[in-house]
Amino acid sequence: MTKDHLSQAKILIVDDEPSNVRLLERILEISGCTSVHGITDSRQAVTEYFDFAPDIVLLDLNMPHFDGFAVMQQLKAAVSADDYLPILVLTADITADTRRRALANGAKDFVTKPLDHTEVILRIRNLLETRFLHLAMQRQNAMLEDQVRERTARLEAALEEIRSAPEQNIKQERLRALGMMAGGVAHDFNNALTMMLGYGELLQPWLDQHGSPREQTYLSHIIAAAQDATHVVSRLRDFYRPAENNEIRVPVDLGEIATQVVSLTAPRWKGRSQAEGIHIDVITDLTATALVSANAAELREVLTNLIFNAVDAMPCGGLVTVATAERDNGVLLSVTDTGTGMTESERARCLEPFFTTKGEGGTGLGLAVVYGIIQRHGGTIEIASEKGVGTTFTIHLPSTDEQKIIHTVPVQRLDCALRILVVDDQDIICELLTELLTGDGHTVHSAADGPAALGIFRREPFDLVITDQSMPHMNGLQLGHAIKELSPETPVVLLTGFGDEMLALGACPPGIDLILGKPVSQSDLRRAVAQAIAPPLALASVA
Protein backbone atom coordinates (compact mmCIF):
# COMPACT_ATOMS: atom_id res chain seq x y z
CA MET A 1 0.00 0.00 0.00
CA THR A 2 2.80 2.44 0.90
CA LYS A 3 4.61 1.42 -2.26
CA ASP A 4 1.44 2.28 -4.00
CA HIS A 5 1.44 5.71 -2.40
CA LEU A 6 4.95 6.35 -3.65
CA SER A 7 4.04 5.35 -7.16
CA GLN A 8 0.89 7.47 -7.09
CA ALA A 9 2.35 10.54 -5.45
CA LYS A 10 3.49 13.73 -7.09
CA ILE A 11 6.69 14.90 -5.44
CA LEU A 12 8.13 18.40 -5.68
CA ILE A 13 11.83 18.95 -4.81
CA VAL A 14 13.04 22.48 -4.06
CA ASP A 15 16.84 22.68 -3.67
CA ASP A 16 19.24 25.23 -5.15
CA GLU A 17 21.88 22.52 -5.64
CA PRO A 18 21.24 20.68 -8.96
CA SER A 19 23.25 17.64 -7.87
CA ASN A 20 21.03 17.28 -4.77
CA VAL A 21 17.95 17.45 -6.95
CA ARG A 22 19.27 14.83 -9.31
CA LEU A 23 20.28 12.55 -6.45
CA LEU A 24 16.85 12.76 -4.89
CA GLU A 25 15.17 12.15 -8.25
CA ARG A 26 17.25 9.07 -8.64
CA ILE A 27 16.46 7.73 -5.15
CA LEU A 28 12.78 8.28 -5.70
CA GLU A 29 12.77 6.73 -9.13
CA ILE A 30 14.39 3.58 -7.80
CA SER A 31 11.73 3.38 -5.09
CA GLY A 32 8.98 3.41 -7.68
CA CYS A 33 8.06 7.09 -7.88
CA THR A 34 6.76 8.04 -11.28
CA SER A 35 5.98 11.71 -10.86
CA VAL A 36 8.88 13.72 -9.49
CA HIS A 37 9.56 17.33 -10.30
CA GLY A 38 12.67 19.23 -9.11
CA ILE A 39 13.41 22.97 -9.15
CA THR A 40 16.51 24.87 -8.11
CA ASP A 41 15.02 28.37 -8.01
CA SER A 42 13.04 28.76 -4.76
CA ARG A 43 11.14 31.73 -6.21
CA GLN A 44 9.18 29.32 -8.38
CA ALA A 45 8.06 27.15 -5.49
CA VAL A 46 4.55 28.61 -5.09
CA THR A 47 3.90 28.67 -8.85
CA GLU A 48 4.96 25.03 -9.03
CA TYR A 49 2.70 24.21 -6.15
CA PHE A 50 -0.27 25.46 -8.15
CA ASP A 51 0.85 24.08 -11.53
CA PHE A 52 2.14 20.68 -10.45
CA ALA A 53 -0.14 20.18 -7.41
CA PRO A 54 2.35 18.04 -5.45
CA ASP A 55 1.41 15.59 -2.69
CA ILE A 56 4.61 16.36 -0.81
CA VAL A 57 7.37 18.97 -0.96
CA LEU A 58 11.01 18.11 -0.24
CA LEU A 59 12.52 21.42 0.77
CA ASP A 60 16.09 22.61 1.27
CA LEU A 61 16.54 25.31 3.91
CA ASN A 62 19.59 27.24 2.78
CA MET A 63 18.84 28.74 -0.59
CA PRO A 64 19.44 32.11 -2.27
CA HIS A 65 16.47 34.51 -2.89
CA PHE A 66 13.93 32.76 -0.65
CA ASP A 67 15.27 30.39 1.98
CA GLY A 68 13.30 27.33 3.11
CA PHE A 69 11.52 29.26 5.88
CA ALA A 70 10.27 31.89 3.43
CA VAL A 71 9.09 29.20 1.02
CA MET A 72 7.23 27.48 3.84
CA GLN A 73 5.50 30.75 4.75
CA GLN A 74 4.46 31.33 1.13
CA LEU A 75 3.15 27.78 0.83
CA LYS A 76 1.24 28.13 4.08
CA ALA A 77 -0.54 31.12 2.62
CA ALA A 78 -1.19 29.33 -0.68
CA VAL A 79 -2.45 26.00 0.65
CA SER A 80 -6.09 25.93 1.70
CA ALA A 81 -6.71 25.37 5.43
CA ASP A 82 -8.56 22.13 4.67
CA ASP A 83 -5.63 20.64 2.74
CA TYR A 84 -2.75 18.73 4.22
CA LEU A 85 0.48 19.31 2.28
CA PRO A 86 3.42 17.63 4.01
CA ILE A 87 6.79 19.40 3.83
CA LEU A 88 9.92 17.36 4.44
CA VAL A 89 12.86 19.56 5.24
CA LEU A 90 16.28 18.51 3.97
CA THR A 91 19.06 20.19 5.87
CA ALA A 92 22.66 19.89 6.95
CA ASP A 93 21.98 22.24 9.87
CA ILE A 94 19.82 20.41 12.30
CA THR A 95 20.15 22.48 15.47
CA ALA A 96 17.30 22.65 17.94
CA ASP A 97 16.58 26.24 16.96
CA THR A 98 16.37 25.41 13.26
CA ARG A 99 14.01 22.57 14.04
CA ARG A 100 11.72 24.77 16.13
CA ARG A 101 11.59 27.46 13.48
CA ALA A 102 10.96 24.94 10.71
CA LEU A 103 8.15 23.23 12.65
CA ALA A 104 6.63 26.61 13.47
CA ASN A 105 6.61 27.41 9.75
CA GLY A 106 4.84 24.21 8.75
CA ALA A 107 7.54 21.57 8.30
CA LYS A 108 6.26 18.07 9.08
CA ASP A 109 9.55 16.16 9.23
CA PHE A 110 13.30 16.41 8.68
CA VAL A 111 16.10 14.48 7.05
CA THR A 112 19.71 15.47 7.42
CA LYS A 113 22.23 15.75 4.68
CA PRO A 114 24.10 13.78 3.57
CA LEU A 115 20.99 11.79 2.88
CA ASP A 116 20.42 8.26 4.04
CA HIS A 117 18.39 6.77 1.15
CA THR A 118 16.37 4.38 3.22
CA GLU A 119 15.54 6.98 5.82
CA VAL A 120 14.47 9.49 3.18
CA ILE A 121 12.12 7.01 1.57
CA LEU A 122 10.69 5.87 4.92
CA ARG A 123 9.95 9.41 6.01
CA ILE A 124 8.42 10.29 2.64
CA ARG A 125 6.26 7.19 2.83
CA ASN A 126 5.03 8.12 6.29
CA LEU A 127 4.15 11.62 5.26
CA LEU A 128 2.42 10.42 2.09
CA GLU A 129 0.39 7.95 4.03
CA THR A 130 -0.96 10.76 6.17
CA ARG A 131 -1.50 12.86 3.05
CA PHE A 132 -3.53 10.14 1.29
CA LEU A 133 -5.49 9.35 4.40
CA HIS A 134 -6.34 13.00 4.61
CA LEU A 135 -7.44 13.04 0.97
CA ALA A 136 -9.56 9.93 1.49
CA MET A 137 -11.20 11.56 4.48
CA GLN A 138 -11.87 14.69 2.49
CA ARG A 139 -13.57 12.66 -0.25
CA GLN A 140 -15.57 10.78 2.33
CA ASN A 141 -16.64 14.02 3.97
CA ALA A 142 -17.65 15.51 0.65
CA MET A 143 -19.71 12.40 -0.09
CA LEU A 144 -21.32 12.54 3.33
CA GLU A 145 -22.09 16.20 2.90
CA ASP A 146 -23.74 15.46 -0.45
CA GLN A 147 -25.76 12.69 1.14
CA VAL A 148 -26.78 14.88 4.04
CA ARG A 149 -27.79 17.66 1.65
CA GLU A 150 -29.81 15.27 -0.48
CA ARG A 151 -31.50 13.67 2.52
CA THR A 152 -32.27 17.01 4.07
CA ALA A 153 -33.94 18.06 0.84
CA ARG A 154 -35.91 14.80 0.77
CA LEU A 155 -36.89 15.21 4.41
CA GLU A 156 -38.03 18.76 3.81
CA ALA A 157 -40.17 17.63 0.87
CA ALA A 158 -41.65 14.81 2.92
CA LEU A 159 -42.31 17.16 5.81
CA GLU A 160 -44.09 19.56 3.49
CA GLU A 161 -46.19 16.68 2.18
CA ILE A 162 -47.04 15.54 5.69
CA ARG A 163 -47.98 19.08 6.68
CA SER A 164 -50.58 19.32 3.91
CA ALA A 165 -51.55 15.64 3.72
CA PRO A 166 -53.77 15.03 6.75
CA GLU A 167 -56.36 17.58 5.65
CA GLN A 168 -56.31 16.24 2.11
CA ASN A 169 -56.60 12.64 3.27
CA ILE A 170 -59.36 13.37 5.71
CA LYS A 171 -61.22 15.28 3.01
CA GLN A 172 -60.80 12.45 0.51
CA GLU A 173 -61.71 9.76 3.04
CA ARG A 174 -64.83 11.51 4.24
CA LEU A 175 -65.93 12.10 0.68
CA ARG A 176 -65.25 8.51 -0.24
CA ALA A 177 -67.15 7.05 2.69
CA LEU A 178 -70.11 9.30 2.13
CA GLY A 179 -69.99 8.65 -1.57
CA MET A 180 -70.12 4.89 -1.10
CA MET A 181 -73.04 5.24 1.25
CA ALA A 182 -74.88 7.60 -1.06
CA GLY A 183 -74.19 5.38 -4.05
CA GLY A 184 -75.64 2.32 -2.33
CA VAL A 185 -78.74 4.18 -1.22
CA ALA A 186 -79.26 5.64 -4.69
CA HIS A 187 -78.95 2.23 -6.31
CA ASP A 188 -81.54 0.60 -4.04
CA PHE A 189 -83.92 3.51 -4.27
CA ASN A 190 -83.74 3.50 -8.04
CA ASN A 191 -84.85 -0.11 -8.10
CA ALA A 192 -87.76 0.65 -5.78
CA LEU A 193 -88.71 3.70 -7.81
CA THR A 194 -88.56 1.71 -11.03
CA MET A 195 -91.24 -0.50 -9.55
CA MET A 196 -93.43 2.36 -8.37
CA LEU A 197 -93.21 4.30 -11.61
CA GLY A 198 -93.47 1.26 -13.83
CA TYR A 199 -96.50 -0.34 -12.21
CA GLY A 200 -98.04 3.07 -11.71
CA GLU A 201 -97.78 3.75 -15.40
CA LEU A 202 -99.13 0.32 -16.25
CA LEU A 203 -102.08 0.92 -13.99
CA GLN A 204 -102.82 4.39 -15.30
CA PRO A 205 -104.56 3.52 -18.64
CA TRP A 206 -106.67 0.89 -16.85
CA LEU A 207 -107.70 3.30 -14.07
CA ASP A 208 -108.37 6.01 -16.64
CA GLN A 209 -110.97 3.70 -18.15
CA HIS A 210 -112.36 1.88 -15.16
CA GLY A 211 -111.39 3.82 -12.04
CA SER A 212 -113.15 6.57 -10.17
CA PRO A 213 -111.82 10.16 -10.44
CA ARG A 214 -110.53 9.85 -6.89
CA GLU A 215 -108.56 6.68 -7.73
CA GLN A 216 -107.15 8.37 -10.80
CA THR A 217 -106.03 11.37 -8.73
CA TYR A 218 -104.40 9.13 -6.12
CA LEU A 219 -102.47 7.29 -8.79
CA SER A 220 -101.29 10.47 -10.44
CA HIS A 221 -100.07 11.66 -7.00
CA ILE A 222 -98.21 8.38 -6.54
CA ILE A 223 -96.55 8.72 -9.93
CA ALA A 224 -95.67 12.39 -9.37
CA ALA A 225 -94.19 11.61 -5.95
CA ALA A 226 -92.11 8.79 -7.42
CA GLN A 227 -90.88 11.14 -10.12
CA ASP A 228 -89.90 13.73 -7.50
CA ALA A 229 -88.14 11.04 -5.51
CA THR A 230 -86.20 10.16 -8.66
CA HIS A 231 -84.74 13.63 -8.63
CA VAL A 232 -83.81 13.40 -4.97
CA VAL A 233 -82.02 10.14 -5.67
CA SER A 234 -80.20 11.63 -8.61
CA ARG A 235 -78.85 14.30 -6.24
CA LEU A 236 -77.55 11.55 -3.98
CA ARG A 237 -75.93 9.81 -6.89
CA ASP A 238 -74.11 12.98 -7.83
CA PHE A 239 -72.39 12.99 -4.49
CA TYR A 240 -68.78 11.98 -4.59
CA ARG A 241 -67.99 8.62 -6.09
CA PRO A 242 -64.76 7.59 -7.80
CA ALA A 243 -64.63 7.97 -11.57
CA GLU A 244 -65.62 4.72 -13.24
CA ASN A 245 -63.89 3.48 -16.36
CA ASN A 246 -67.14 3.09 -18.15
CA GLU A 247 -68.41 6.51 -17.18
CA ILE A 248 -70.42 7.93 -20.01
CA ARG A 249 -69.51 11.42 -21.12
CA VAL A 250 -70.67 13.41 -24.08
CA PRO A 251 -69.44 16.67 -25.58
CA VAL A 252 -71.19 19.42 -23.66
CA ASP A 253 -71.41 23.15 -24.27
CA LEU A 254 -70.89 24.87 -20.91
CA GLY A 255 -72.53 28.03 -22.25
CA GLU A 256 -75.69 26.07 -22.94
CA ILE A 257 -75.58 24.57 -19.46
CA ALA A 258 -75.11 28.04 -17.98
CA THR A 259 -78.09 29.44 -19.87
CA GLN A 260 -80.28 26.50 -18.82
CA VAL A 261 -79.28 26.70 -15.17
CA VAL A 262 -79.64 30.47 -14.93
CA SER A 263 -83.17 30.08 -16.21
CA LEU A 264 -83.92 27.01 -14.06
CA THR A 265 -82.73 28.76 -10.90
CA ALA A 266 -84.58 32.01 -11.64
CA PRO A 267 -87.48 31.22 -9.28
CA ARG A 268 -84.99 31.13 -6.41
CA TRP A 269 -83.27 34.47 -7.02
CA LYS A 270 -86.05 36.34 -8.82
CA GLY A 271 -88.75 35.03 -6.53
CA ARG A 272 -86.72 35.91 -3.48
CA SER A 273 -85.95 39.37 -4.79
CA GLN A 274 -89.62 40.07 -5.21
CA ALA A 275 -90.75 38.49 -1.96
CA GLU A 276 -88.17 40.17 0.23
CA GLY A 277 -87.85 43.44 -1.60
CA ILE A 278 -84.19 42.90 -2.42
CA HIS A 279 -82.67 42.96 -5.85
CA ILE A 280 -80.59 40.12 -7.22
CA ASP A 281 -79.40 40.11 -10.82
CA VAL A 282 -77.81 37.18 -12.59
CA ILE A 283 -75.95 37.99 -15.79
CA THR A 284 -73.95 35.78 -18.13
CA ASP A 285 -70.80 36.39 -20.11
CA LEU A 286 -70.34 33.25 -22.19
CA THR A 287 -67.39 33.43 -24.55
CA ALA A 288 -66.21 29.79 -24.69
CA THR A 289 -67.14 27.81 -27.79
CA ALA A 290 -65.01 24.74 -27.01
CA LEU A 291 -66.89 21.73 -25.65
CA VAL A 292 -66.04 19.64 -22.61
CA SER A 293 -66.52 15.90 -22.29
CA ALA A 294 -68.98 15.65 -19.43
CA ASN A 295 -72.15 14.44 -17.88
CA ALA A 296 -74.47 17.40 -18.52
CA ALA A 297 -76.78 16.64 -15.61
CA GLU A 298 -73.83 16.68 -13.24
CA LEU A 299 -72.60 19.99 -14.56
CA ARG A 300 -76.07 21.47 -14.17
CA GLU A 301 -75.96 20.31 -10.57
CA VAL A 302 -72.57 21.99 -10.09
CA LEU A 303 -73.74 25.29 -11.45
CA THR A 304 -77.02 25.17 -9.57
CA ASN A 305 -75.14 24.71 -6.30
CA LEU A 306 -72.78 27.60 -7.06
CA ILE A 307 -75.63 29.94 -7.99
CA PHE A 308 -77.66 29.00 -4.89
CA ASN A 309 -74.64 29.64 -2.69
CA ALA A 310 -74.04 32.98 -4.39
CA VAL A 311 -77.67 33.96 -3.81
CA ASP A 312 -77.44 32.84 -0.17
CA ALA A 313 -74.37 35.02 0.25
CA MET A 314 -76.25 38.16 -0.83
CA PRO A 315 -78.95 38.73 1.80
CA CYS A 316 -79.20 42.38 0.76
CA GLY A 317 -79.15 41.71 -2.96
CA GLY A 318 -76.35 42.04 -5.48
CA LEU A 319 -75.02 40.70 -8.75
CA VAL A 320 -74.09 37.17 -9.82
CA THR A 321 -72.02 36.80 -12.97
CA VAL A 322 -71.80 33.42 -14.67
CA ALA A 323 -69.00 33.39 -17.23
CA THR A 324 -67.27 30.93 -19.53
CA ALA A 325 -63.93 31.42 -21.26
CA GLU A 326 -61.40 29.24 -23.03
CA ARG A 327 -58.11 28.76 -21.22
CA ASP A 328 -55.23 26.24 -21.24
CA ASN A 329 -56.81 23.57 -23.49
CA GLY A 330 -59.96 23.78 -21.48
CA VAL A 331 -62.96 25.80 -20.54
CA LEU A 332 -63.32 28.01 -17.48
CA LEU A 333 -66.67 28.33 -15.83
CA SER A 334 -66.88 30.98 -13.15
CA VAL A 335 -69.55 32.21 -10.79
CA THR A 336 -68.85 35.55 -9.16
CA ASP A 337 -71.01 37.19 -6.55
CA THR A 338 -70.93 40.51 -4.73
CA GLY A 339 -71.93 38.86 -1.47
CA THR A 340 -70.55 38.55 2.04
CA GLY A 341 -67.40 36.68 1.03
CA MET A 342 -65.56 34.17 3.21
CA THR A 343 -62.80 34.36 5.77
CA GLU A 344 -59.60 32.50 4.87
CA SER A 345 -60.53 29.55 7.09
CA GLU A 346 -64.04 29.36 5.63
CA ARG A 347 -62.54 29.46 2.16
CA ALA A 348 -60.13 26.66 3.05
CA ARG A 349 -62.90 24.44 4.47
CA CYS A 350 -65.91 25.23 2.30
CA LEU A 351 -65.49 22.15 0.07
CA GLU A 352 -65.59 19.80 3.04
CA PRO A 353 -68.75 17.75 3.44
CA PHE A 354 -70.96 19.10 6.22
CA PHE A 355 -69.12 22.39 6.44
CA THR A 356 -71.76 25.09 6.57
CA THR A 357 -72.11 28.54 8.08
CA LYS A 358 -75.85 28.52 7.48
CA GLY A 359 -76.83 26.64 10.63
CA GLU A 360 -80.05 24.69 10.21
CA GLY A 361 -80.52 26.25 6.79
CA GLY A 362 -77.48 24.55 5.29
CA THR A 363 -76.38 20.96 4.76
CA GLY A 364 -72.79 21.69 3.87
CA LEU A 365 -73.06 19.15 1.06
CA GLY A 366 -73.49 21.43 -1.95
CA LEU A 367 -69.84 22.19 -2.49
CA ALA A 368 -68.77 18.66 -1.55
CA VAL A 369 -70.95 17.46 -4.43
CA VAL A 370 -69.45 20.11 -6.69
CA TYR A 371 -65.95 19.04 -5.70
CA GLY A 372 -66.69 15.36 -6.33
CA ILE A 373 -68.18 15.99 -9.74
CA ILE A 374 -65.38 18.25 -10.90
CA GLN A 375 -62.73 15.81 -9.68
CA ARG A 376 -64.35 12.98 -11.59
CA HIS A 377 -64.35 15.13 -14.70
CA GLY A 378 -60.61 15.71 -14.35
CA GLY A 379 -61.17 19.39 -13.60
CA THR A 380 -60.05 21.81 -10.91
CA ILE A 381 -61.75 24.36 -8.68
CA GLU A 382 -60.28 27.64 -7.50
CA ILE A 383 -61.93 29.85 -4.95
CA ALA A 384 -61.17 33.53 -4.48
CA SER A 385 -63.03 35.32 -1.75
CA GLU A 386 -62.80 38.51 0.23
CA LYS A 387 -64.88 39.21 3.29
CA GLY A 388 -67.39 41.93 2.52
CA VAL A 389 -66.49 42.06 -1.17
CA GLY A 390 -67.59 38.79 -2.77
CA THR A 391 -66.55 35.40 -4.01
CA THR A 392 -65.54 33.81 -7.30
CA PHE A 393 -65.63 30.06 -7.89
CA THR A 394 -63.66 29.17 -11.01
CA ILE A 395 -63.86 25.71 -12.52
CA HIS A 396 -61.49 24.50 -15.19
CA LEU A 397 -62.48 21.51 -17.30
CA PRO A 398 -60.38 20.00 -20.10
CA SER A 399 -61.94 20.54 -23.52
CA THR A 400 -62.71 17.85 -26.07
CA ASP A 401 -62.46 17.75 -29.86
CA GLU A 402 -65.50 15.52 -30.18
CA GLN A 403 -68.63 16.91 -31.77
CA LYS A 404 -71.93 17.30 -30.11
CA ILE A 405 -74.46 14.51 -30.59
CA ILE A 406 -77.99 15.64 -31.18
CA HIS A 407 -80.78 13.12 -30.75
CA THR A 408 -84.45 13.69 -31.12
CA VAL A 409 -86.08 10.42 -30.40
CA PRO A 410 -89.77 9.66 -30.65
CA VAL A 411 -91.67 8.25 -27.71
CA GLN A 412 -94.56 6.58 -29.51
CA ARG A 413 -94.60 2.81 -29.63
CA LEU A 414 -92.81 1.17 -32.51
CA ASP A 415 -94.80 -0.27 -35.38
CA CYS A 416 -92.77 -3.43 -35.55
CA ALA A 417 -92.85 -6.35 -33.09
CA LEU A 418 -89.44 -7.38 -31.80
CA ARG A 419 -88.03 -10.39 -30.02
CA ILE A 420 -86.43 -9.02 -26.88
CA LEU A 421 -84.31 -10.72 -24.20
CA VAL A 422 -84.57 -9.01 -20.80
CA VAL A 423 -81.92 -9.75 -18.14
CA ASP A 424 -82.16 -8.60 -14.53
CA ASP A 425 -81.39 -10.40 -11.28
CA GLN A 426 -84.51 -8.92 -9.70
CA ASP A 427 -87.56 -10.88 -10.79
CA ILE A 428 -89.83 -7.96 -10.23
CA ILE A 429 -87.87 -5.74 -12.65
CA CYS A 430 -87.87 -8.53 -15.25
CA GLU A 431 -91.63 -8.80 -14.84
CA LEU A 432 -92.15 -5.08 -15.13
CA LEU A 433 -90.03 -4.76 -18.26
CA THR A 434 -91.76 -7.78 -19.74
CA GLU A 435 -95.17 -6.20 -19.07
CA LEU A 436 -94.14 -2.88 -20.57
CA LEU A 437 -92.61 -4.45 -23.66
CA THR A 438 -95.29 -7.06 -24.32
CA GLY A 439 -97.83 -4.24 -23.91
CA ASP A 440 -96.15 -2.68 -26.97
CA GLY A 441 -96.51 -5.92 -28.93
CA HIS A 442 -92.98 -7.31 -28.49
CA THR A 443 -92.16 -10.90 -27.63
CA VAL A 444 -90.11 -11.01 -24.45
CA HIS A 445 -87.92 -13.67 -22.80
CA SER A 446 -86.28 -12.99 -19.50
CA ALA A 447 -83.25 -14.33 -17.63
CA ALA A 448 -82.11 -13.76 -14.06
CA ASP A 449 -78.39 -13.54 -14.80
CA GLY A 450 -75.77 -13.35 -17.53
CA PRO A 451 -74.99 -17.07 -17.93
CA ALA A 452 -78.73 -17.94 -18.15
CA ALA A 453 -79.22 -15.16 -20.69
CA LEU A 454 -76.35 -16.45 -22.83
CA GLY A 455 -77.91 -19.94 -22.69
CA ILE A 456 -81.20 -18.62 -24.06
CA PHE A 457 -79.47 -16.38 -26.58
CA ARG A 458 -77.54 -19.32 -28.04
CA ARG A 459 -80.77 -21.27 -28.59
CA GLU A 460 -82.87 -18.65 -30.37
CA PRO A 461 -82.44 -15.34 -32.17
CA PHE A 462 -83.28 -11.95 -30.59
CA ASP A 463 -83.62 -8.49 -32.12
CA LEU A 464 -82.59 -6.80 -28.89
CA VAL A 465 -81.12 -7.52 -25.46
CA ILE A 466 -81.90 -5.32 -22.45
CA THR A 467 -79.70 -6.06 -19.45
CA ASP A 468 -79.22 -4.75 -15.94
CA GLN A 469 -75.66 -3.66 -15.09
CA SER A 470 -75.13 -4.91 -11.51
CA MET A 471 -75.83 -8.63 -11.37
CA PRO A 472 -74.06 -11.53 -9.70
CA HIS A 473 -71.74 -13.79 -11.79
CA MET A 474 -71.52 -11.47 -14.76
CA ASN A 475 -72.35 -7.78 -14.98
CA GLY A 476 -74.22 -6.10 -17.83
CA LEU A 477 -71.06 -4.88 -19.55
CA GLN A 478 -69.59 -8.37 -19.56
CA LEU A 479 -72.84 -9.83 -20.85
CA GLY A 480 -72.96 -7.17 -23.60
CA HIS A 481 -69.47 -8.18 -24.60
CA ALA A 482 -70.39 -11.88 -24.72
CA ILE A 483 -73.56 -11.18 -26.73
CA LYS A 484 -71.56 -9.19 -29.29
CA GLU A 485 -69.15 -12.07 -29.66
CA LEU A 486 -72.04 -14.39 -30.54
CA SER A 487 -73.90 -11.85 -32.64
CA PRO A 488 -72.24 -8.48 -33.30
CA GLU A 489 -75.41 -7.15 -34.94
CA THR A 490 -77.72 -7.57 -31.96
CA PRO A 491 -78.17 -4.29 -30.10
CA VAL A 492 -77.64 -4.35 -26.33
CA VAL A 493 -79.26 -1.82 -24.00
CA LEU A 494 -77.67 -1.46 -20.57
CA LEU A 495 -79.97 -0.66 -17.69
CA THR A 496 -78.25 1.01 -14.78
CA GLY A 497 -79.18 2.51 -11.44
CA PHE A 498 -76.43 5.03 -12.00
CA GLY A 499 -77.72 6.28 -15.33
CA ASP A 500 -79.69 9.35 -16.25
CA GLU A 501 -81.19 10.78 -19.37
CA MET A 502 -77.84 12.02 -20.60
CA LEU A 503 -76.43 8.52 -20.50
CA ALA A 504 -78.85 7.54 -23.20
CA LEU A 505 -77.27 10.10 -25.50
CA GLY A 506 -73.65 9.32 -25.00
CA ALA A 507 -70.91 7.24 -26.54
CA CYS A 508 -71.18 3.77 -25.02
CA PRO A 509 -68.67 1.29 -23.62
CA PRO A 510 -67.76 -1.67 -25.85
CA GLY A 511 -70.56 -4.22 -26.20
CA ILE A 512 -73.26 -1.69 -25.34
CA ASP A 513 -75.33 0.26 -27.86
CA LEU A 514 -77.29 2.38 -25.45
CA ILE A 515 -77.49 3.13 -21.76
CA LEU A 516 -80.76 3.55 -19.98
CA GLY A 517 -80.93 4.99 -16.48
CA LYS A 518 -83.19 3.55 -13.83
CA PRO A 519 -85.93 4.18 -12.94
CA VAL A 520 -87.29 3.47 -16.40
CA SER A 521 -90.53 4.97 -17.53
CA GLN A 522 -92.56 3.59 -20.41
CA SER A 523 -91.49 6.43 -22.68
CA ASP A 524 -87.82 5.98 -21.72
CA LEU A 525 -88.11 2.34 -22.64
CA ARG A 526 -89.85 3.03 -25.94
CA ARG A 527 -87.26 5.66 -26.78
CA ALA A 528 -84.43 3.27 -25.97
CA VAL A 529 -85.91 0.39 -27.98
CA ALA A 530 -86.51 2.66 -30.96
CA GLN A 531 -83.03 4.06 -30.81
CA ALA A 532 -81.25 0.78 -30.22
CA ILE A 533 -82.65 -1.16 -33.18
CA ALA A 534 -81.24 0.35 -36.38
CA PRO A 535 -81.64 3.98 -35.29
CA PRO A 536 -82.43 5.67 -38.64
CA LEU A 537 -84.97 2.99 -39.54
CA ALA A 538 -86.63 3.22 -36.17
CA LEU A 539 -86.86 6.98 -36.40
CA ALA A 540 -88.39 6.79 -39.86
CA SER A 541 -90.92 4.13 -38.98
CA VAL A 542 -92.37 5.99 -36.04
CA ALA A 543 -91.98 9.59 -37.18
Residue 313 near which of ligand ADP, Mg ion, none (CB within 5-8 Å, type-dependent): ligand ADP
Q: How many residues does the chain have?
A: 543
Instruction: Please tell me the distance from the alpha carbon of residue 2 to that of residue 519, in angstroms, as a whole number.
Output: 90
Nearest to 43 by CA among 9, 76, 12, 16: 16
* In the complex, minimum distance from the CB of residue 385 to ligand ADP, in angstroms, rounded to a whole number: 6
Residues 404 and 253: beta-carbon distance below 8 Å: yes
Q: Which of 183, 353, 366, 476 is in the footprint of Mg ion by CB under 5 A?
A: 366
Compare residues 129 and 346 and give the one whose CB is closer to ligand ADP: 346
Residue 20 or 305 having the CB closest to ligand ADP: 305
Stretch 326-365: interaction string toward Mg ion, x if CB under 5 A: ----------------------------------------
* Contact flag: residue 387 with ligand ADP (CB under 6 A): no
Q: How far is the CB of 354 from Mg ion (least distance, A)?
A: 12
> Shortest CA distance to 65 belongs to which of 45, 47, 91?
45
From residue 338 to residue 377, the character string flagging contacts with ligand ADP as x (rule: CB under 6 A) and all else as - is: -xxxx---x---x----xxxx---xxxxxxx---------
- Helices and strands counted in the chain (H then E): 17, 17
Question: Minimal distance in Å, beta carbon 502 to ligand ADP?
Answer: 23
Q: What does DSSP say about strands 380-386 and 318-327: parallel, antiparallel, or unpaired?
A: unpaired
Type of residue found at 470:
S
Contact between 372 and Mg ion (CB under 5 A)? no
Q: Are 109 and 145 in contact (CB under 8 A)?
A: no
Q: Closest approach of Cβ 462 to ligand ADP, in Å?
A: 47
432 binds ligand ADP (CB under 6 A): no
| Chain mean position to CA 382 | 16
Strand partners, 382: 394
Contacts with ligand ADP, 258-287, as mask; x by CB under 6 A: ------------------------------
Handedness of CA 317, 318, 322, 328 (dihedral sign): negative
313, 433, 465, 515: residue in contact with ligand ADP (rule CB under 6 A): 313
Residue 321 near ligand ADP by CB under 6 A:
no
| CB 394, min distance to ligand ADP, A | 12
Three-class DSSP category at 37? strand
The correct pick among 42, 309, 391, 490 for binding Mg ion (CB under 5 A) is 309
Contacts of 515 (CB under 8 A, 6+ apart): 248, 493, 494, 496, 499, 503, 504, 506, 508
Which residues in this chain contact ligand ADP in the complex, by CB under 6 A? 305, 309-310, 313, 337, 339-342, 346, 350, 355-358, 362-368, 391
